[in-house]
Structure 1
Amino acid sequence: MSVQGTTLEDVFHQDISHALWSAKPIDEDPEVIISAHLAFLRAGADVILTSSYQCAYTTFERARYTQDDARRIMLKSVQLAKEARRRFLEEPLAASRDVKIALSLGPYGAMLYPAQEFDGFYPPPYGPALSPTQEKTNAFDDTPEGKAQEQAAIDELAKFHYERLCTFAGDAETWNVVDFVAFETVPLRREIYAIRKAVERFGGESMKPWWISTDYPGGRFPETKTDGGHLTATDAASAALLDGEEAAAWGFGINCTGLEFLPALLEEARPVAKKHLEKHGKRPWLVLYPNRGDVYDPVTQSWRESSGQGQKWADEFGAVVLVAIAQGDWEGVVAGGCCKTGPDEIAALAGEIRTRI
């Protein structure tokens, strides 16, 4: 599986330091989006994510687009992935490939500036109201009032995610192209609940296969507890797969996280996969797409490069994937790369996995 945002910057020399991030070239330079998709497909990716991660009416409004233009560009992101797949499948070496398209939907925090996927500091009504003298927190008070505010935040976040789902599904030609729906880089448990609520309202069990992918900067889930510490991957996986009565996610994921943290995080999530089997009679899928190891500063929008690139990254990540498969807790594993992983890393990963399964 491939994510193309930073590849547009690194390989195709696009300036994506913009409110729309990788969505900006959809309208201004669609051929570069197609080229990025093709680069990953030729490297061995079987799933490509649309360049719609930061596409939402609020982000387009901030970038001074009309609602009609926003909708048009959002739908176009899917059609560009479809065109890339069409071109690729006409190539001689692609005859036997089954290429899938995943609709990329970022969290509410990706629509903020600075982006808040890694901290989860959402403004009211999506997060707690704080006075200038209060320490920053992403947790509501553990009081009746705080719990009521948290439920109101879940309702508002559900509206946000439902609106985007309806935009893509409202156009049959676009929706028919989508094979998976990927809710990515979700930093808060309440947003996981909100996504499930949105999917339930949208159609629940009739939804296309969909996953909720969470992120762990520094190895920790961003949401804090009111009494200190952070929620865990167990908490995040339970929110996606077990808690409540809304439709459970088809898959649980970890993305935009350092590779070195995956083994411990997966050990935390494994018991939830077992309970999912007991509750639903089927195993969930696991979706893993860690970063290459570079560290991102959301304020300066710059990266500090790591040494774990290419084959080294693929060797280490491939070993993690093979262990997850062998343990048998998941129905299957979708594996790929997130920020700063490019076609070279995906080619190495594809070679590593396919020669060892």
Structure 2
Amino acid sequence: MKNIFDNFIQSRGFVVLDGAMATELEARGANLNHSLWSAKLLNEDPELIKQVHYDYLVAGADVITTASYQASFEGFAKHGYTHDEAIALMQLSVQLAFEARDEFMKEFPHREKPIVAASVGPYGASLADGSEYRGNYGVSIQDLKTFHRRRMQVLIETNADVLACETIPCIDEAVALLELLTEFPGVQAWISFSCKDAVRLSSGEDFAEALKLLNQSTQVVAVGVNCTAPQYIEALVKIAAENTGKHILVYPNKGEVWDAANKCWLPASTGDTHFYNGAKSWYLAGAKIIGGCCKTTPEDIRQLQQLG
């Protein structure tokens, strides 16, 4: 099975991911103070989601990630959506990315066809209480598999190019995802952790140990870190380079901290505000797939074209 990122890396040396979806939607006027977060707009304003995808492609993204991070059967059910309506909205999240890519390729036929990654957010995202930055779920691996299985199947059946299993805060959830992937042979995924510092996952577990676990899977085509403060990324990339032969990906936030109680972002205390400066150091440390998470914008992604 050829790694989906290989053509991009062989031709240019790196892959550019997109940036934030939810905070970019908010910057364009969307009210996402809601437990469904960006998935709320799948019903209310899908065209705005598609426009953000398109703008990231124009900015130079090789990969766009669907607005399904917060989409779960449990999350939709809390707001009165039926099982079938939840499926339709998850499918729509991928369809919007496909449509944005099709429109982009008509305008820029010389560009290599971008990748559509179906976002698989962590269990903690469905709780809407910031658990994805703690990882103290108190549920079993089997419970986590039950939570992820149905929506992973829905997203896989859309024929998205790759699954983006992201903001994973603990080793148990990574184990659950690895075991689920074996139920869908031929499906490729990346697994990206949220980290609390330069060596530990948000749960406090060792990042290096999590990476060693992922080395067991041929279906995991890239590993790394996302929605983590930028000042920790270079050290985490160096740990990854020592503990995996897989492609390393990073897409940190801009350094702000999410206040789950008040549902707002607290200002960054440290970190370089010019995104490219950090990205260059991550690239030199060994990351070959680079983008941005919360608070990053198409302009930040545009800067990444200079990496090569």
Q: Same fold (TM over 0.5)?
A: yes
1:97 CA displacement: 3.4
What residue in structure 2 maps to residue 339 of structure 1?
A: 294
Q: Deviations over 1:105-135 (max 9, x none)?
A: 1011110031310011214xx1xxxxxxxxx
What residue in structure 2 maps to residue 258 of structure 1?
A: 229
Asked if the contact 1:162–1:199 (Cα under 8 Å) also holds between the matched residues in 2, the reply is: no
What residue in structure 2 maps to residue 211 of structure 1?
A: 190
Q: Read off the aligned partner of 1:4 and give its amino acid letter.
A: M
1:218 CA displacement: 4.1
What residue in structure 2 maps to residue 304 of structure 1?
A: 266
Q: Read off the aligned partner of 1:235 and give its amino acid letter.
A: E
CA separation in 1, counterparts of 2:152 and 2:128? Answer: 23
CA separation in 1, counterparts of 2:129 and 2:21? Answer: 20
1:309 CA displacement: 6.8
Q: Read off the aligned partner of 2:24 and give its amino acid letter.
A: T
1:163 aligns to 2:164 (yes or no): no
1:186 CA displacement: 0.4
What residue in structure 1 maps to residue 303 of structure 2?
A: 348
Q: Read off the aligned partner of 1:314 and give its amino acid letter.
A: Y
1:162 CA displacement: 1.7
Q: Deviations over 1:259-287 (max 9, x none)?
A: 110122122222321xxxxxxxxx31111
CA separation in 2, counterparts of 1:23 and 1:201? Answer: 26
Q: Deviations over 1:260-319 (max 9, x none)?
A: 10122122222321xxxxxxxxx3111110111222211111112348576x22122222
1:248 CA displacement: 5.5
Unaligned runs of 5+ in 1: 127-152, 224-229, 274-282, 326-332
CA separation in 2, counterparts of 1:308 and 1:105? Answer: 28
CA separation in 2, counterparts of 1:96 and 1:261? Answer: 33
What residue in structure 2 maps to residue 8 of structure 1?
A: 25
What residue in structure 2 maps to residue 138 of structure 1?
A: none
TM-score by length of 1: 0.77
What residue in structure 1 maps to residue 183 of structure 2?
A: 201
1:68 aligns to 2:50 (yes or no): no
1:116 aligns to 2:116 (yes or no): no
What residue in structure 2 maps to residue 222 of structure 1?
A: 202
Q: Read off the aligned partner of 1:100 and give its amino acid letter.
A: I
What residue in structure 2 maps to residue 100 of structure 1?
A: 115
Q: Deviations over 1:235-279 (max 9, x none)?
A: 12122224xxx6552211200011110122122222321xxxxxx
1:40 aligns to 2:27 (yes or no): no
Asked if the contact 1:19–1:62 (Cα under 8 Å) also holds between the matched residues in 2, the reply is: no
What residue in structure 1 maps to residue 47 of structure 2?
A: 31
Give matches, 1:130-279, under 5 Å: 153-170=140-157, 174-175=158-159, 178-203=160-185, 206-207=186-187, 209-219=188-198, 220-223=200-203, 230-242=204-216, 249-273=220-244
The 10-residue stretch of structure 1 (213-222 or 113-122) with the greater mean CA deviation from structure 2: 213-222
1:317 aligns to 2:279 (yes or no): yes
Q: How many residues align?
A: 289
Q: Read off the aligned partner of 2:153 and give its amino acid letter.
A: C
Q: Deviations over 1:8-41 (max 9, x none)?
A: 112x111111121111111111110111111111
Indicate the SS of the match to 2:116. strand
Q: Deviations over 1:205-239 (max 9, x none)?
A: x11x211100113443122xxxxxx3221012122
Q: Read off the aligned partner of 1:160 and give its amino acid letter.
A: F
CA separation in 2, counterparts of 1:315 and 1:113? Answer: 32
TM-score by length of 2: 0.88
Indicate the SS of the match to 1:252. strand
CA separation in 1, counterparts of 2:264 and 2:295? Answer: 11
Which structure has more relative contact order (CA 8 Å, sep 6+)? It is 2
Asked if the contact 1:309–1:345 (Cα under 8 Å) also holds between the matched residues in 2, the reply is: no
Asked if the contact 1:258–1:290 (Cα under 8 Å) also holds between the matched residues in 2, the reply is: yes
Give the structure with higher Rg (CA).
1
Unaligned runs of 5+ in 2: 1-16
The 10-residue stretch of structure 1 (157-166 or 98-107) with the greater mean CA deviation from structure 2: 157-166
CA separation in 1, counterparts of 2:130 and 2:80? Answer: 18
What residue in structure 1 maps to residue 72 of structure 2?
A: 56
The 10-residue stretch of structure 1 (26-35 or 153-162) with the greater mean CA deviation from structure 2: 153-162
CA pair 335-34 structure 1, distance change in 2 beyond 3 A: same
Q: Read off the aligned partner of 1:269 and give its amino acid letter.
A: A
Indicate the SS of the match to 1:90. helix
